[in-house]
Amino acid sequence: MEWMLLLSNILHTLTEGLGLATNALLIYLVLTKTPKRLTTYSILILNFAICDLLTCVSAFFVQQRLIPGGTALFYFSHGPCKLFGSLACYIGYSFMLHCYSHWLWSLLFSFVYRYYILGHSAPKTRTVVIIITLFYIPSFFQFVTFCFASDDVTELKNQVVKKFGYDVSKECVSGHLNIFHWKAMFTILHMTLPITPVYTAILILRRMTLAKLRAERVMSENSKHLHAQLLKALTIQACLPIFFVVAVITYTVGQLGIYNHPLLEYATFLLGSFIPMLCPVTSFYFVRPYHLWIRNRLLCMHRKTSSQSVSRITTLYGSQETSKGYY
């Protein structure tokens, strides 16, 4: 048991530390290195970066172990939140969950945006911000209601000992004695049920986007290279929800009483921590201004290259100009 806790602490520190650094860097690049032609698209990137950064901070703060048991659900917090008590840990956990749910809805919107942009000019920045805000409302409602869903700590500890025989004398415990109470149930359903339909919609949108790209008969070499990069970016981002799917499976297996094991209890949110760590990498690699800045400033890989040709790609950004090879 002790080695699992140690391994969990190490993995949380590594994944969330790296995620914090990469997302902070991405926010800096979006605010200072985004060319005018990418202003609208950069709002989507900034939304992801802020959401991922806050996810990393809250996930490190709580370092949660999820223990499902019948109609009850318990949380052991092993992060710095222990210094402030169970309530602080629970609120931090609630905040983390709402960041994850907003990330998933944002990913869906990003695929809708990419499909839309193939046949239309880029929407106004204000329009994109309003849509993101509308997508955020369910997650914010989840956060507010879930903050009031935790039960008495003493009763929770007694139930943990009764159901699992765990030593809770040194544990920071929070949770729910009955997950069917609407405040807890809404969050559980909002975190689990949308995974499959959203992921399915993402795959369908990806297929539709690729089909629309392949339907283009007249295309310059620059455009073909750009579309190849877009295909890679879509493929990578479409894979990230797999971490959500596996995390939900580890939770469901325990909640339904199929199998309970400490390894599954630790794994649920460790799997989730890889998402905000990996998400910025796609922007670092595929958005040319960010890629060049990282290569030249951080990796010190200055190269004398011929000036990049600029092609006008109406199929992607209406009448906007896009540099070869990147968004």
pTM of the model: 0.85
One digit per residue, pLDDT tens: the chain, 327 residues? Answer: 688 899 999 999 999 999 999 999 999 999 999 888 788 888 999 999 999 999 999 999 999 999 998 899 999 999 999 999 999 999 999 999 999 999 999 989 988 988 888 777 888 999 999 999 999 999 999 999 999 999 999 999 999 999 999 999 889 999 999 999 988 999 989 988 888 898 889 889 888 888 877 776 655 556 556 555 656 776 787 788 788 889 889 999 998 889 989 999 999 999 989 999 999 998 898 888 898 899 888 777 655 444 444 444 333 433 343 433 344
Three-class secondary structure assignment of the chain:
CHHHHHHHHHHHHHHHHHHHHHHHHHHHHHHHHCCHHHHHHHHHHHHHHHHHHHHHHHHHHHCEEEEEECCEEEEEECCHHHHCCHHHHHHHHHHHHHHHHHHHHHHHHHHHHHHHHCCCCCCCHHHHHHHHHHHHHHHHHHHHHHCCCCCCHHHHHHHHHHHHCCCCCCCEEEEECCCCCHHHHHHHHHHHCCHHHHHHHHHHHHHHHHHHHHCCCCCCHHHHHHHHHHHHHHHHHHHCHHHHHHHHHHHHHHHCCCCCCHHHHHHHHHHHCHHHHHHHHHHHHHCHHHHHHHHHHHCCCCCCCCCCCEEECHHHHCCCEEECCCC
CATH number, domain containing residue 39: 1.20.1070.10
**One-letter amino acid identity for 93?**
Y
Confidence at residue 312, expressed as pLDDT on a 0 to 100 scale:
40
Residue 142 C-beta-side C-alpha neighbours within 13 Å: 23
Residue 43 C-beta-side C-alpha neighbours within 13 Å: 18
Confidence at residue 54, expressed as pLDDT on a 0 to 100 scale:
97
C-alpha separations of 165 from 161, 177, 263 in Å: 4, 16, 16
Q: State how far Cα 126 lies from the chain centre.
A: 23
Confidence at residue 219, expressed as pLDDT on a 0 to 100 scale:
55
**One-letter amino acid identity for 267?**
A
Confidence at residue 285, expressed as pLDDT on a 0 to 100 scale:
86
Confidence at residue 224, expressed as pLDDT on a 0 to 100 scale:
53
What's the structural domain count of the chain? 1
β partners of residue 311: 322
β partners of residue 69: 72
Confidence at residue 310, expressed as pLDDT on a 0 to 100 scale:
41
Confidence at residue 225, expressed as pLDDT on a 0 to 100 scale:
61
Boundaries of domain holding 58: 2-300+308-323
Confidence at residue 326, expressed as pLDDT on a 0 to 100 scale:
42
Phi, psi of 77 (to 5 degrees): -105, 130
